[in-house]
Structures are given as structure tokens and as C-alpha cells.
Structure 1
Amino acid sequence: MEFSEVVRRRKMVRSYTGDPVDPAVLDKILHNATRAPSAGFSQGWGFLVLDTPDDVRRYWSATAEVDSPDEWLTGMMQAPVIVIPCSSKAAYLDRYAEKDKGWEDRDEARWPMPFWHMDTAMATMLILQTVVDEGLGALYFGIPPESETAVRDAFTIPDTFDPIGAVTIGHPAPGGAKGSPTRRKRAPLEDVIHRGHW
């Protein structure tokens, strides 16, 4: 598929058939994620892959009321794969304290923007794009703040990594819960692109 077609077709999928994802395709999706840029080539990301029915069920049990799911949750729980991208601030602070970067401390104040989250988000976009290129569907969504500890405990996520959200991956089901683009128009380019001044 041409890259422009991948970009055009990328959308959030909220309902899946439950058919398995080819492990080789999943490996390709994850490999492409690691091709994202990262400040200082810090590569401060990790990807928790849940691709067994038991692991997927444990995720939903840690974050939702699985015994009384609404339409959204019913469709989402059918996804055979969940990937939890995690960012590591420590990896960036350590990397920029190395000799070739010239900082001798790990002062977080040097980072007015949290590049560890931003770079992991770029890696997540590569997951979403590769999913489309492979003819699958995905949805990036947030982990409820009140569930983060349960997710960390259920999957032993180390303290040096922070989940930035979760991505369901699978074969899109016909129909299913509709997202905001069905109710809202895409912003016109002239409203979001500013040349030379705002």
C-alpha cells in the first residue's frame, strides 16, 4: 500500500472479529515501532505485548467492568492483541548525562517537554500505521488513571517505565461502535496550518 493511502485509511477501530493476528505480522508491527526517532537515540520505550486470551482478559479485568460491558467494551474485548507502549524518563536522563551529550547531571528541568512520552507516542503512531498497511485495525486509548496501579501490578511493569496508553490490534468487525469522526468534521487545513505567523 502506498504511504499516502496508509495515512488516509488510518482510523481508530473499536470493534474486532476476534480472529487471531498472524504472529509474523505482529512482529513486523513491533519492529517498525522501534524505528521511531528518539532524542539522543535514547530509545526510552518498552512495549508490553498481550497476545494470549488470558493476558488480554487480565488487562480488561484490571481496567473495566468485564461482567457488564457496554457496546464499546464489548467490541474492544474481542481484539486478540493489546500493546501497552511505555516510556522511560530515566533512559533520557541517563542518556543526556553521558559524556557525548555534555550534561553532567540528570536534571529534569532541562526537558521543558517530556521527550520520553513524545518519542514513545511517535513509536505508537508507527504501530498504528503498520497495522493499516497490514490490513488490520487498531485503537489507541488511555488507561484509566485509577487502573494504572492494577495494570502495573498485573503485568509487573517496572517503576522506571510509564504506560502512555494502550493499543488494541485485530481484524475490524463490520459495524461496531462509531467514533467522534462520525459526529465531527475534520478541521479545515486553513484552520490548523499557519504560515509565517499565527
Structure 2
Amino acid sequence: MEFRDVVRRRRMVRAYDPRPMEPAVLDRMLEHAVRSPSAGFSQGWAFLRLDTPHDVARFWQATSPDPEASNPWLDGMRTAPAVIVPLSHKDAYLDRYAEPDKGWTDRDEARWPVPYWHCDTAMASLLILLTAVDEGVGACFFGVPPTRHDAFRAEFSVPAGYTPVGAITVGYLPERDGVPGSSKRRSRRSVEEVVHRGDFRS
């Protein structure tokens, strides 16, 4: 598939055919994720791959504020046979930029204009989403509630220094993606609306 077609076809899929994912497809998603750019080539990320019914069920149990609750969005997302959780690792960046070639003599977080550990992990996540399109499968990036981070870490033995920037459901496309959501009622903003030349004009 041409790259421009991959970009044009990318969308968030919120319901899936429940058949198991082919492991090689998930392999390629993660192989592409680690090709993402990172500040100082810090590569301060990790990816938790959950691709068995047991592990996926553990994820929803640990991250859902009310695991027994039912709603169209959650019911659709829970049909995904695989979940990938991208994790950022701040310490990898603070350590990297305290090395001699970077010129900083400490690990002061205040030096960073934005938290690049999150930015870089988000860029790696986008490569997973784009790979899904290229593979002909569906994916959706969504947030893990901060109040559930500790439960998530405990369930999967994730060290405290790693932060889930979100999670990505992955699965084969259903016959019809009919899960309701506000995004289906919104149109994509045009380039003219969001690109500002020279000066920022609303």
C-alpha cells in the first residue's frame, strides 16, 4: 500500500472480529514502533504485548474503573483479541542527557521544554497504528485512567518508572464497524483551518 493511502485510511476502530491475531502482524507493528525517533536516541520506551484471551481480560479488569460496567464503547473495545500498551521511561532520558556528549551535568527534569519521553512513545504508537492499516487490520489508541495506573502496574509487574501513555487495541476488522461515538459525527478539519503561515491566526 502506498504511504499516502496508509495515512488517508488511518482511523480508530472500536469493534473487532474476535478471531486471534496472527502473531507475525503484531511482530511487525512492534518492529516498526522501535524505528520511531527519540531524543538523544534515548529510546526510553517499552511495549507490553497482550495477545491471549487471559491477558487481555486481565488488562480490562485492571484498567477499567468499573470492570463490570457495560456501554457500547467498552463492549466494542473488549472484542479486540490483542492489546499493546506503550510505556514511557523518563529516567532513560534523564540519564541519557546527563552523559558527556550532551553537556548537561545533572538529571534536572526542568531542562526539558516538554516531556519528550511521552512524546517519543506517542510517536512510536503512531507507527503501530499506521502499520495496522498497512496490514489490513484495525487499531485504536485510547487512554488508561490515571487512577488505574497502580492497578495496571501491579497486575503486570510493570516497574514504577514506566508510565502507560495509553493503550492500543488491535484486531481484524468486523463486517461492519457500527459502534456509536462522537467521532462519527465530526468531520475532519481542513488543512486551511489548522495550518498557519507566518503568524498564528485563528
TM-score by length of 1: 0.96
Q: Who is 2:49 aligned against?
A: 49
Deviation at residue 118 of structure 1 after TM alignment: 0.2
Q: Secondary structure at the match of 2:48?
A: strand
Question: Contact conserved, 1:49 with 1:83, CA < 8 A, in 2?
Answer: yes
Question: Contact conserved, 1:142 with 1:165, CA < 8 A, in 2?
Answer: yes
Q: Who is 1:170 aligned against?
A: 171
Q: Which runs of 5+ in 1 are unaligned?
A: none
Q: Secondary structure at the match of 2:152?
A: helix
1:143-175, CA deviations, whole angstroms, 9 ceiling, x for partnerless residues?
A: 012211111110011111111010000012213
Q: Which runs of 5+ in 2 are unaligned?
A: none
Deviation at residue 66 of structure 1 after TM alignment: 4.0
Are 1:36 and 2:36 matched, yes or no?
yes
Matches for 1:49-198 after TM superposition, within 5 Å: 49-64=49-64, 65-173=66-174, 174-198=176-200
Following the alignment from structure 2 to structure 1, what is the Cα–Cα distance between the partners of residues 24 and 17? 19
| Identical-pair percentage | 57
Following the alignment from structure 1 to structure 2, what is the Cα–Cα distance between the partners of residues 107 and 175? 46
Are 1:19 and 2:34 matched, yes or no?
no
Question: Contact conserved, 1:60 with 1:77, CA < 8 A, in 2?
Answer: yes
1:121-143, CA deviations, whole angstroms, 9 ceiling, x for partnerless residues?
A: 00000000000000000000000
Deviation at residue 181 of structure 1 after TM alignment: 3.2
Output the aligned Cα RMSD. 1.1
Following the alignment from structure 1 to structure 2, what is the Cα–Cα distance between the partners of residues 178 and 139? 14
Following the alignment from structure 2 to structure 1, what is the Cα–Cα distance between the partners of residues 87 and 114? 17
Q: How many residues align?
A: 198
